[in-house]
Structure 1
Amino acid sequence: MYSDSHLKRSWVEVDLRQIIDNYKIYKRNVKSCKIMAVVKADAYGHGSVQIANALQLEGVSLFAVSNIEEAIELRTSGIKGEILILGYTPTECAEKLVKNNITQTLLDESYARMMADKGIKAQFAIDTGMNRIGLDADNPEYCEEIIRKYSEQYELNGIFTHLCVSDTDSEECKCFTKQQIEKFEDIAKRVENLKLPYVHCMNSAGGLFYSTKSNIGGIARLGIILYGLKPDYTNELPDGIKPALKWKSVIAMLKKIHVGETIGYGRTYIAEHDMKIATVPTGYADGYRRELSNTGRVEINGSVAPIVGRVCMDQIMIDVTGIDANCGDEVTLIGDFYTADDIAQDIGTIGYEIVCGISKRVPRIYK
């Protein structure tokens, strides 16, 4: 897999048992009878092939990805179930879609026209208010007309929409989400005689908070919660759902510095007292965010150590003054003490971006 030298620089540990536990707990907490596992973006940085194979063994047969490359990777790795591409595929790839038995999202009427009569399995996206892709649900008669028209030119097996604020608890967002669901239900009922097997509007948060409010489809697309992270930092997840990923590195060097000395690029940290500093061989080229300069923290031997100075391309420096720390000791960058959601909250982004941003040069190890 990887040499020990790679593993002892910077690596990610993924707990497949926790992934399965998260899936089972989520499934118990939603009304939907089927789960579509969203494994796009390399399963949000966790490893799509390994995650999909583990879920397939648990009986999951519906998967969603972003693009044709991700879909083919799953299919050639032994994933047998339905694989839905949620986004755009170039028209010249139509033959690959058919050959690999992959379902393509139809983005709008124009795209459906370009991809028609090629023997493709497909689902129509319905735009209920996100204004990203899909037929405009504010014109349900038009949506019905187009869906019926192209059901004769595709192996059409579903329709879906995306709830854009189902993770937000404000009254305004609750009202908007309910309106989205109602618009989608209207279109689903208009074409119900087509007997499309995959009709779905629930994402991770939607399934958790709104599955009792809709009888349409019985499918939830399980994305970020599968990996133990929150759609929104304020969300409360069911007991037992936990992050499945830990990111680790090691201490490469220890150094004593004196009061008044500076650390790192730009000399942004000035020592206010004598300190012991450790260098850790992970940086922003590995996906460790530069915004964590002088802000983030890591864990060493049960103690928390702050980052001092700017995050470098390949290294960070941490303050280990008063900590029992030695060269070669393991350093936890993301873990129970400081999750991807916590990091995201500190730097003004979302947990999705933190885990998706861990680069390919950081090997994933599966437990």
Structure 2
Amino acid sequence: MRPTYLEVNLTQLKQNLENIRAKAAPAKVLVVLKANAYGHGVDGVAPFIAPFADYIGVAIVEEGIHLRKMGIATPILVMGGTLPQQLSDFFEYDLTLAASSLDLLTAAEQLAQSTRKRLKVHLKVDTGMERIGVREYEAESLIEKSLSCSHLDMEGIFTHFANSEVMSLQKNMTPLSLQLERFEGILSMYEKRGVPHPRIRHTANSGAILLHPESYYDMVRPGVLFYGVYPGRDVEKTIEVKPALTWRSKVVYSKVTQPGRGVSYGSLWQAEAPTRIVTIPCGYADGYFRRMTNQARVIVNEKEYPQVGRICMDQFMVNAGGDDVKVGDEVILLGGGITAEDLADWTGTNEYEVMTNISARVPRVFTRAVQ
């Protein structure tokens, strides 16, 4: 196997899920497995975690189909935007549709009627994200239509928060409060008509799970929190979770570089004295961002060293100083004290992008070690 690989601790993921479930009970838990399980490797994560999840969330229909072909039987909600021509896949693979427009809901009802197959639907309403979904002030027509869709199972209704990890925007008001108020207004439309609302109401993403129990309703949707990363640096850590990822490699070359000799493309770094430079077989094609050049740090033999010289497509170099670092020595790129937040800072991005951009060519190794 390639010396650069991701080690994914499945036991830690399960513990994170259990801690979230204990906090949110009696609400159900939808585990978000989109984007290759946030870079962790859905082929290994999904079969292990599915039996412990009430629902699975993905972004696109192809992700749902992939899970079904793996044999995953847990309900799957495709949370992103869907085109009408994709609806047949929802019926074929028993996927739950996020009905984000009146036209999409109408097309789903017509297809269900013509095929004599039922489809589970969650109405998607936009209370302030301005991404997909019918805005709250236009939602009445969507609800009216949903009540007449006799060939669909209107299982759920949901919205997505834009600022759930932020505690306060102004005095006595959180950014989430207005969105929650709008969502409650939509739910009141059912009460005015004397009909029950869909049985699964859900709004809480990772930040809301931590900070806003009033948003739990019938189900919560942990994304980054499930993977052991908090959705903000200063967010109150009301649930204990730990990262499940360790990005490992090995030294493949070790040499002493003389003063004045530039290291890597552009010669952006030069040694001032004889210095041991070691090469790591990982680069920006693996998701180790080029933007981290001369900022990143790694751990070799339990000691931290700086990355130097421009990060290449497949390799990068590390300044081991005067230490005798040898070919084959273990290297940690993420984990062991180096966090996703660190890589995000060095890159100028967030933790989500760091994890989801770890390339598919980096092998995933799944363990069940107890931390």
With the length of structure 1 as denominator, give the TM-score of the two structures: 0.92
Alignment match of 2:154 (pick from 150, 153, 156): 156
Alignment match of 1:100 (pick from 93, 101, 104): 93
Shift of 1:333: 0.5
Deviates more, 1:92-101 or 1:270-279: 92-101
SS for the counterpart of 2:56 is strand
**Per the alignment, do residues 128 and 239 of structure 1 end up closer, same or farther by CA in structure 2, a change over 3 Å counting?**
closer
SS for the counterpart of 2:208 is helix
Identity of aligned residues (%): 33
Cα deviation digits, residues 103-124 of structure 1 (max 9, x gap): 1111212332333322232211
SS for the counterpart of 2:144 is helix
Amino acid at match of 2:243: P
Which residue matches 1:202? 204
Cα deviation digits, residues 60-117 of structure 1 (max 9, x gap): 2201001111101111222212100011233233222112110111121233233332
**Per the alignment, do residues 146 and 348 of structure 1 end up closer, same or farther by CA in structure 2, a change over 3 Å counting?**
farther
**Mapping 1:342-361, distance limit 5 Å:** 342-361=342-361
SS for the counterpart of 2:204 is coil
Shift of 1:294: 0.3
Amino acid at match of 1:358: I
Which residue matches 1:77? 70
Query: Do residues 179 (structure 1) and 178 (structure 2) align?
Result: yes
Deviates more, 1:170-179 or 1:344-353: 170-179
Question: Contact (CA 8 Å) 2:102, 2:142: kept in 1 or not?
Answer: no
Cα deviation digits, residues 137-164 of structure 1 (max 9, x gap): 1345345334434x43532211110011
Which residue matches 1:40? 34
The whole-number CA distance in structure 2 between the counterparts of 1:284 and 1:148 is: 50
Q: CA RMSD in A?
A: 1.9
Shift of 1:238: 4.2
SS for the counterpart of 1:225 is coil
Alignment match of 1:19 (pick from 10, 13, 33): 13
Alignment match of 1:114 (pick from 96, 99, 107): 107
Amino acid at match of 1:106: A
Shift of 1:260: 1.6
Deviates more, 1:43-52 or 1:301-310: 43-52
Deviates more, 1:188-197 or 1:117-126: 188-197
Which residue matches 2:327? 327
SS for the counterpart of 2:247 is strand
Which residue matches 2:188? 189
Amino acid at match of 2:85: E
Question: What is the count of residue pairs matched by the alignment?
Answer: 357
Question: Contact (CA 8 Å) 1:148, 1:191: kept in 2 or not?
Answer: no
Query: Do residues 276 (structure 1) and 269 (structure 2) align?
Result: no
Alignment match of 1:53 (pick from 44, 47, 51): 47
Which residue matches 2:168? 170
The whole-number CA distance in structure 1 between the counterparts of 2:225 and 2:276 is: 39
Which residue matches 1:306? 306
SS for the counterpart of 2:323 is coil
Which residue matches 1:243? 243
SS for the counterpart of 1:89 is coil
Deviates more, 1:349-358 or 1:69-78: 69-78
Amino acid at match of 1:131: E
Which residue matches 2:116? none
**Per the alignment, do residues 127 and 44 of structure 1 end up closer, same or farther by CA in structure 2, a change over 3 Å counting?**
same
| 4+ runs deviating over 6 angstroms | none
Which residue matches 1:259? 259
Question: Contact (CA 8 Å) 1:122, 1:156: kept in 2 or not?
Answer: yes
Query: Do residues 230 (structure 1) and 220 (structure 2) align?
Result: no
**Per the alignment, do residues 37 and 169 of structure 1 end up closer, same or farther by CA in structure 2, a change over 3 Å counting?**
same
Question: Contact (CA 8 Å) 2:28, 2:219: kept in 1 or not?
Answer: yes
Shift of 1:245: 0.5
The whole-number CA distance in structure 2 between the counterparts of 1:292 and 1:169 is: 31
Which residue matches 1:67? 60
The whole-number CA distance in structure 1 between the counterparts of 2:236 and 2:312 is: 34
Question: Contact (CA 8 Å) 1:246, 1:335: kept in 2 or not?
Answer: yes
The whole-number CA distance in structure 2 between the counterparts of 1:88 and 1:343 is: 30
Which residue matches 2:340? 340
Amino acid at match of 2:290: R
